[in-house]
Amino acid sequence: MTATESPHEAVARALDALGTGAFLADDQGLIVAVNTRGEQLLDRPASDLVGRDAHDLLHRNGWGEPVPRAQCRMRQSVLGGRTEQGEDEWLERGDGTLLPVAWLATPCDTGVRPSVTLVLFHSAGRPGRPAQRPPADGRLSEMERLALLAETTTLLTSTLDIHEALRRLITLVVPRIADWAVIDLISQRDEVSRFAVAHAEGGTVLFRDDLQGPMPPVPQESSMPLSRALRGVASSFAGPETYQGPPDSGIAVEQRRLFETTGMHSAVIVPLRSLHGVMGALTLGRADQPDHFTATDTALLEDIARRASLALENARLYQRQRQVAETMQRHLLPTLPRTPGRSMTARYLPAPDASEVGGDWYDAFTLTDGATALAIGDVVGHDLDAAAGMAQLRNMLRAYAVSQQKPPSKIVEWLDQATLDITEVSMATLVFARMSENAAGQCELSWTNAGHPPPLLVTREGVARYLTDGHGILLGVTPEKVRPDATAELPPEATLVLYTDGLIESPGHTLDEGLEHLRRHAAALAHRPLEDFTDQLLARARPPDNDDDVALLAVRYGPGRPS
């Protein structure tokens, strides 16, 4: 590497020897370096590439249209820090032609932050002008219909996020079948909301926020098309003339407004039915495409709606189970004790919607000798069983700790042996500690660590260090193994932070980077009141791409301090 060359540029230069196109993208998807062969294949100088979003700038379909971000595996690889490969895709060159490519994307450690992904690509054919897309008249051949149904199943069943599934549904049918797509949903309280109104414009699907939002209730006696579909009666054709007469309900008023605003001249409305009832309705409309919908179109759309309803039902059931687990987990987490001389607070944050509930937990309680017991742990697994296992583990730990005046290591040894026969927990991590005053009147912490991230101690002066002693193997591996204890004095006004790995782990960074990130933020916040310290630490240190639960227990020691 030369004196004026960045590490990323040095890596790109080194890749010139491979003879294939290559660029580096950071964790936001921005190009940070490109090699010479990549410049040649893309017919773009590095100055036009570096700093630009790789997906938005380069990725196109065979017609030269931007590929939706949600459907781009290359972008998912870059943002998720995982290895992916693909072929039969196109990158747009500087002269507007399309380069057919095969590619491989993989995380790459260049020794600097932020982390980067290496994208290798080579030409799979000669560059050419974008193919001419056939006019979107809504008429599909039998093979195109079968391909559409297969694509519907694949895309909708590959996500458990309801909103993402519905947006994918819209991109499937607009503009392939219709100019406009409208989705109305029925909540568990039988309230109707217009989830999306979208239309095709310049090869992009745009959403009309002004036409979305809450809807009037469904009238049971109405014979209007949308009302019938929302009751699960039947599919219906509709047009602006359908709503020209006196409206029979608030929904009819909204439908008249929809047709007037969008200019749709022909629409078909199909119910979204599940095994347990009607979930909503899908409306497809044509304004620019001249043909009216036919019975053949209706049969296709009903098939699409059935597949979409199945995917939506699965997503709803998944979210319902997740909510049950999360609610149970929250109710099982304890009320913190009020201890003279110690302030204490805790937080539990569930994983993002797309992830499952885990077994993260914390506990704090007063022992018979007046010491305060502290615990933080994580049961392996991400489901209702993990949340239930967390409750079993916590209750057993309490029983041993309260009934036996023993060091933390001995309590955890008993707990480890008992988990094999009494609980359904396969493996778990845990830090268990005792906080008490020693003979000199100083606050003393004794603890043992069963494979968990180390506690963090922050002095009032902002010196933060990890308590790495007392570390042993996680629970459920070798229960007969003797565990170590460690002891440390806590200076006045020091803050002890116990946390789970969701606060430090990130796909794009190493564990050491996550620990250093947490330590620096905790040190900077040392002067804050404990509640504010905890909230700010979570907001600043939690990785943005975190896909796990986070539990955090913070204790501040101060003689004479009220809890």
Task: Identify the CATH number of the domain in which residue 468 sits.
Answer: 3.60.40.10
Under the banding of pLDDT at 50, 70 and 90, the label for residue 559 is low
| pLDDT, tens only, 186-209 | 987 889 999 999 998 876 789 999
Decide: helix, strand or coil at residue 407: coil
Question: Once rounded to an integer, what is the mean pLDDT over residues 432-451?
Answer: 91
Output 40 or 175, whichever has higher pLDDT.
Answer: 40
The rounded distance, in Å, linking the Cα atoms of 236 and 270 is 7
DSSP 38-104: HHHHHT--HHHHTTSBHHHHHEE-TTSPBPPGGG-HHHHHHHHT--EEEEEEEEE-TTS-EEEEEEE
Under the banding of pLDDT at 50, 70 and 90, the label for residue 169 is confident
Among residues 345, 413, 329, 343, the alpha carbon closest in space to that of 379 is found at 329
Say which DSSP state 483 is in.
P
Output 190 or 3, whichever has higher pLDDT.
Answer: 190
**Residue 92 reports pLDDT greater than 90:** yes
Contact 346, 551 (CB under 8 A): yes
Distances (CA, A) of 263 to 248, 267, 546: 22, 11, 43
| Segment among 5-9, 66-70, 231-235, 315-319 with least mean pLDDT | 5-9
| Segment among 2-11, 26-35, 56-65, 85-94 with least mean pLDDT | 2-11
Query: Are 318 and 393 in a shared domain?
Result: no
Output 311 or 486, whichever has higher pLDDT.
Answer: 486
| Segment among 20-34, 316-330, 375-389, 521-535 with least mean pLDDT | 316-330
Query: Are 301 and 353 in a shared domain?
Result: no
The rounded distance, in Å, linking the Cα atoms of 133 and 456 is 59
Single out the residue in 291, 322, 353 at which a domain terminates. Answer: 322
Say which DSSP state 475 is in.
B
The rounded distance, in Å, linking the Cα atoms of 89 and 78 is 16
Query: Are 180 and 310 in a shared domain?
Result: yes
Say which DSSP state 339 is in.
B
Query: Are 107 and 11 in a shared domain?
Result: yes
Report yes or no on 133 lying in a domain.
no
Question: Once rounded to an integer, what is the mean pLDDT over residues 393-419?
Answer: 91
**Residue 157 reports pLDDT greater than 70:** no
pTM greater than 0.75 (yes/no):
no
> For residue 325, what pLDDT is reported?
61
> For residue 357, what pLDDT is reported?
55
Mean pLDDT of the chain: 84
Query: In the beta sheet, which residues pair with residue 119?
Result: 23, 105
| Segment among 135-144, 184-193, 205-214 with least mean pLDDT | 135-144
**Residue 520 reports pLDDT greater than 70:** yes
Neighbour-count burial of 166, counting CB atoms closer than 10 A to its CB (0-12 exposed, 13-18 middle, 19+ buried): buried
Residue 221, Cβ neighbours under 10 Å: how many?
7
Which of 166-180, 265-279, 297-311, 526-540 is predicted most confidently? 526-540
Query: Are 67 and 194 in a shared domain?
Result: no
Report yes or no on 72 lying in a domain.
yes
% of the chain with per-residue pLDDT over 90: 40
Under the banding of pLDDT at 50, 70 and 90, the label for residue 144 is low
| Segment among 286-300, 342-356, 487-501 with least mean pLDDT | 342-356
Report yes or no on 294 lying in a domain.
yes
| Segment among 73-87, 168-182, 266-280 with least mean pLDDT | 73-87
Say which DSSP state 357 is in.
-
Query: Domain range holding 224?
Result: 142-322
Distances (CA, A) of 49 to 4, 26, 39, 67, 98: 20, 13, 9, 18, 16
**Residue 339 reports pLDDT greater than 70:** yes
The rounded distance, in Å, linking the Cα atoms of 199 and 184 is 15
Question: Once rounded to an integer, what is the mean pLDDT over residues 306-331?
Answer: 72
Contact 432, 373 (CB under 8 A): yes
% of the chain with per-residue pLDDT over 70: 83
| Segment among 156-170, 256-270, 475-489 with least mean pLDDT | 156-170
Query: Are 272 and 344 in a shared domain?
Result: no
Query: In the beta sheet, which residues pair with residue 552?
Result: 347, 499
Tokens of residue 544, six digits: 């943005």
Which of 413-422, 508-517, 543-552 is predicted most confidently? 508-517
Question: CATH code at 271?
Answer: 3.30.450.40
> For residue 112, what pLDDT is reported?
59
Question: Once rounded to an integer, what is the mean pLDDT over residues 60-77?
Answer: 78
Report yes or no on 457 lying in a domain.
yes
Domain count, the chain: 3
Question: Once rounded to an integer, what is the mean pLDDT over residues 474-481?
Answer: 85
The rounded distance, in Å, linking the Cα atoms of 318 and 160 is 7
Query: Are 400 and 287 in a shared domain?
Result: no
Under the banding of pLDDT at 50, 70 and 90, the label for residue 354 is very low
> For residue 531, what pLDDT is reported?
95
Report yes or no on 562 lying in a domain.
no
Query: Are 67 and 193 in a shared domain?
Result: no
Under the banding of pLDDT at 50, 70 and 90, the label for residue 310 is confident
Query: Are 344 and 299 in a shared domain?
Result: no
The rounded distance, in Å, linking the Cα atoms of 210 and 212 is 6
Question: Once rounded to an integer, what is the mean pLDDT over residues 129-134?
Answer: 64
Single out the residue in 284, 302, 322 at which a domain terminates. Answer: 322
**Residue 374 reports pLDDT greater than 50:** yes
Report yes or no on 137 lying in a domain.
no
> For residue 136, what pLDDT is reported?
47
| Segment among 133-142, 179-188, 308-317, 386-395 with least mean pLDDT | 133-142
DSSP 521-536: HHHHTTTS-HHHHHHH
DSSP 245-294: S--SSHHHHHHHHHHHHH--SEEEEEEEEETTEEEEEEEEEESSS-SPP-
> For residue 261, what pLDDT is reported?
94
Question: CATH code at 97?
Answer: 3.30.450.20
Residue 87, Cβ neighbours under 10 Å: how many?
11
Report yes or no on 389 lying in a domain.
yes
> For residue 328, what pLDDT is reported?
61
Query: Are 422 and 552 in a shared domain?
Result: yes
Single out the residue in 295, 322, 349 at which a domain terminates. Answer: 322
The rounded distance, in Å, linking the Cα atoms of 422 and 405 is 22
- Radius of gyration for the chain, computed over Cα atoms and rounded to the nearest angstrom: 29
> For residue 26, what pLDDT is reported?
87
E strands of 422-562, at which residues? 428-437, 443-450, 456-458, 464-466, 471-472, 486-490, 495-499, 550-557
Output 422 or 553, whichever has higher pLDDT.
Answer: 553
Query: Are 241 and 351 in a shared domain?
Result: no
Query: Are 259 and 232 in a shared domain?
Result: yes
**Residue 55 reports pLDDT greater than 50:** yes
> For residue 473, what pLDDT is reported?
92
Question: Once rounded to an integer, what is the mean pLDDT over residues 517-545?
Answer: 92
Report yes or no on 42 lying in a domain.
yes
